[in-house]
Amino acid sequence: MSSSPRRRYFGTDGIRGRVGAWPITPEFILKLGWAAGKVLARQGHGKVLIGKDTRISGYMFESVLQSGLSASGIDIHLLGPMPTPAIAYLTRTLRAHAGIVISASHNPYYDNGVKFFSSRGMKLPDELEMAIEEQLERPMTTVDSAELGKAIRIVDAPGRYVEFCKSSVPHDVTFNGMKIVVDCANGAAYHVAPDVFRELGAEIIEIGVEPNGLNINLNCGATHPELLQQWVLREKADLGIALDGDGDRVIMVDHLGRLVSGDELLYVIARHQKSIGQLQGGVVGTVMSNMGFEQAMHGLDIDFIRVPVGDRNIINELTKRRWYLGGEPSGHIICSEMLTTGDGIIAALQVLSAIYYQQQPLATLYAELVKYPQVLLNVKVDFEGDISSNSRVSKAVQDVEYQLGSCGRVLLRRSGTEPLIRIMVEGENEVQIQRLAKQVADIVQEEFSKQDPQRSIA
């Protein structure tokens, strides 16, 4: 859902959906490219970068986006498969008007989407998204043939991004002697992530680096880290790194095979930066950040603030406060002094730097963070209104909050990328929160859906 009720297409992370179902169709994406080009052309003649992940429909949408932009008179630079944060970085350094990412991030191959970066490498401002939506309502036209946009392919994009990632750690840092398993989710980082860590000295075991257009995020990567856990234990590795399909989030595995979430990784980074005097201000989390993480930040005398879910909200708060560090439990971690969006590779490098300087394994660095148990449930819905206006659901939430008291919390929110209501209950007693989460999910399901809730316990 967009924050603006007037919007028809743009959600919290661009436009995303099932390939072949409106609006993720060739004809719509063609016109989207044209509409974006017409809006950007008002800022003067320039170029737009297009990058994509590895899903099979990316070829189709790359072609039609290119055609739409050309019809509007905008030049196109094609990057090929590249992580989302790499496109943000290259948009800024190549002085492009905008960058376009063709990706559905952690979703299966049969979904796809389009999101935009501004010339500053940040999510497109709301006013430009609204202007594109308004342009979409007009008939498509084509500029004079002499003014059509030209397209070229940037052949050195992967190398540029590898060097940028390496530059995010001090020159004296090397990972010699470390054995790391890197799972690239058969996604956009498959040809860059292993090189980054390898060139910094680590012994790398690569998995999820054979994309075929259909296997992106399939039983691998940050959303399915079980494979990485098995490989870390089998190879007796120091740790494992799992990226998602477009490379903007990271989950890690310690040498004992235990999952290390975004909250724990953010804790390691913040604690290390605080210890060496490099932490600028505090840390921005979201409403999903664990209560244990918040308490740990206070224990380290680090300011902490929550914002709604989404890296756009984190970045806005970081910018407003002139802080540099924020993130989500899902593994979106933003180091804004380096890049204006979440970057799984750069976040992993900051964790590895903490390991290098403190000469301790990952398992030790996050050991003092004690997280509260969380139960996460997803209920599929067709309802698009305000769920909080339903009196039965509101009463169920109030009842749960009363039972948890000050030792827990409950959160209901609509997914910005899927037709789901996400229910999170957090507290000290895992048995209790499982029961309470099920109570709320059952009522949401009865009110808005006929389908069974999907359960996840964190």
Let me know how long the chain is.
458
Is 2 part of a structural domain of the chain?
no
DSSP 3-state of 194:
helix
Indicate whether 57 belongs to any domain: yes
Angle between helices 391-404 and 430-448 (to 10 degrees): 180
Residue-wise pLDDT tens digits, 226-239: 999 999 999 999 99
| Residue where a domain terminates, one of 333, 365, 397 | 365
Read off the DSSP letter of residue 416. Answer: S
Of 104, 128, 155, which residue is a domain's last?
155
Position 231 in a domain? yes
Task: Examine the domain organization and report whether 398 and 417 are in the same domain.
Answer: yes
Assigned domain for 217 exists: yes
**Quick one: 247 and 341 in the same domain?**
yes
Enumerate residues 6+ apart whose C-beta is below 8 A from 290: 263, 329, 371, 372, 374, 426, 458
Query: From the CB of residue 163, how many other CB atoms can be counted at a distance below 10 Å?
Result: 12
- List average pLDDT for each run of 10 residues in the chain, which is 458 residues long: 59 89 97 97 87 98 98 97 97 96 96 95 89 96 96 96 97 96 98 98 98 98 97 98 97 98 98 96 96 96 95 93 96 93 97 98 97 92 77 92 92 81 93 94 83 53
Considering the domain architecture, whether residues 244 and 383 belong to the same structural domain is answered as no
Range of the domain at 170: 161-365
Last residue of a domain, one of 97, 122, 155: 155
Tens-place pLDDT, residues 233-283? 999 999 999 999 999 999 999 999 999 999 999 999 999 999 999 999 999
Domain count, the chain: 3
Residue 171 lies in a domain: yes
406 in the same domain as 392: yes
Question: Which residues are the active-site residues?
Answer: 105
Residues 302 and 268 in one domain: yes
Q: Are residues 43 and 108 located together in one domain of the fold?
A: yes
